[in-house]
Structure 1
Amino acid sequence: MKISIQKIIRFDDYPFDESVDISEIENWNNDIRRIGSVHVTGHANAQGNQITCYLTITGTMILPCARTLIDVTYPFEVDAVEVFSTDPYYQEEDESEIHPIDGEVLDLDPYIKENVLLEIPFRVYASQEEIDQFALTSGEGWEIVSEQETEEPTMDPRMQKLQDLLNEKEDKENQ
């Protein structure tokens, strides 16, 4: 999403409302399995050598469930404020919240992607309906069994005979 700096300076409060494709962040090292376009609304204003952009980013991303690894749709809405400097002599510091602008166009795409990445939750969980519908319940050599479904393990017949002999011996000793 690119905005001309001259447009921002000309308007007191330059509004914008666009869809931005940020699907390339799926390939980065994060948990996002799918994300399409996000909707970005907001406005920008200029005061002296600084441009302040107020953004609202909305969209949905597909993340893995922390328990089952099935896809979970996670809707998000991010409110962000980004400050830029048009001063050609401004040098960005490491922890600075003011970003320098090179040229006559303000490119908001990297800042939109950064704010979406910061919105990824630590864990998401699928609903029970999603788990019942999509989760695997068995595979090669394994299956999920609830505690109610488990049976008491049956004893090996040879061990059962030995146990019977021991029980008889205890009964004789107790008499």
Structure 2
Amino acid sequence: MRWSLTQLKKFNQDSIAVNEKVQFKEMTDRKDVTSVDEVSVEGVLHVRNRQIMADLTIETVVNMLDSRTSEDIQVPLHIEAEEIFDEDAEEADDLAENVHPVTHTLDLEPVIKELIIVNIPFVITKSDEPLSGGKEWSVTDEESLENERTSVDPRLSKLKSLLDDSDNKEE
């Protein structure tokens, strides 16, 4: 998915359809991402004087480790993006997120790779079970928490009677 700017200039004020499939070998260094399936890229390139606007739809499946069980699960990704490639923009400029400087060739692969990486979820699980606890911790609901607060340690029950007496004296 690489075009030279002179090749694209032939389509000035016109549009070019994009329908490609790409396989990335190395996607990210995250340990929970095991692999990324073939990436389907569809869209349209709108060629203007000094800018090329790309309306892209990216679909793929990311194979990840379940955050609770460490089982391999598949996470489908559907990304819609509008990216602008500008000949007048430079790397040093403060550009918007979707504006990319371009000099001699327009290469969509790094942009597609970045869009996929940004859209991979940080935590994913296929389990619908609520967490109940783990080693040295547990989940407590509000009702049982209230019961714990109202119950008095039997060793401190005599002190509670002193507290009750001080409340009566203040009235």
1:62 is matched with 63
Aligned partner of 1:19: which letter?
Answer: K
Q: State the shift of 1:30 in Å.
A: 5.4
Q: Deviations over 1:56-115 (max 9, x none)?
A: 11010101111101001111110011111123xx32324533211121x21111100110
Secondary structure at 1:23's aligned position in 2?
coil
**Percent of aligned positions that are identical:** 32
Could you tell me the TM-score, scaled by structure 2's length? 0.65
- Does residue 1:125 correspond to 2:125, yes or no? yes
Q: How does 1:51-130 map to 2 (within 5 A)?
A: 51-87=52-88, 90-92=89-91, 93-97=93-97, 98-103=99-104, 105-127=105-127
Secondary structure at 1:13's aligned position in 2?
strand
> Do the aligned residues in 2 keep the contact of 1:7 with 1:14 (CA within 8 Å)?
no
1:50 is matched with 51
Partner Cα separation in structure 1 for residue 48 and residue 123 of structure 2: 40
* Unpaired runs of at least 5, structure 1: 129-175
- Does residue 1:13 correspond to 2:15, yes or no? yes
Q: State the shift of 1:6 in Å.
A: 3.6
Greater mean deviation of Cα atoms: 72-81 or 2-11: 2-11
Q: State the shift of 1:7 in Å.
A: 4.1
| Higher Rg of the two aligned structures | 1
> Do the aligned residues in 2 keep the contact of 1:9 with 1:45 (CA within 8 Å)?
no
Aligned partner of 2:18: which letter?
Answer: F
Partner Cα separation in structure 2 for residue 123 and residue 94 of structure 1: 31
> Do the aligned residues in 2 keep the contact of 1:23 with 1:36 (CA within 8 Å)?
no
Partner Cα separation in structure 2 for residue 29 and residue 76 of structure 1: 17
Q: Is the alpha carbon distance of 1:50 and 1:30 closer, same or farther for their aligned partners in structure 2, counting shifts above 3 Å?
A: farther
Instruction: Give the superposed CA RMSD.
Output: 2.1
Among residues 16, 23, 26, which one is paired with 1:24 in the alignment?
26
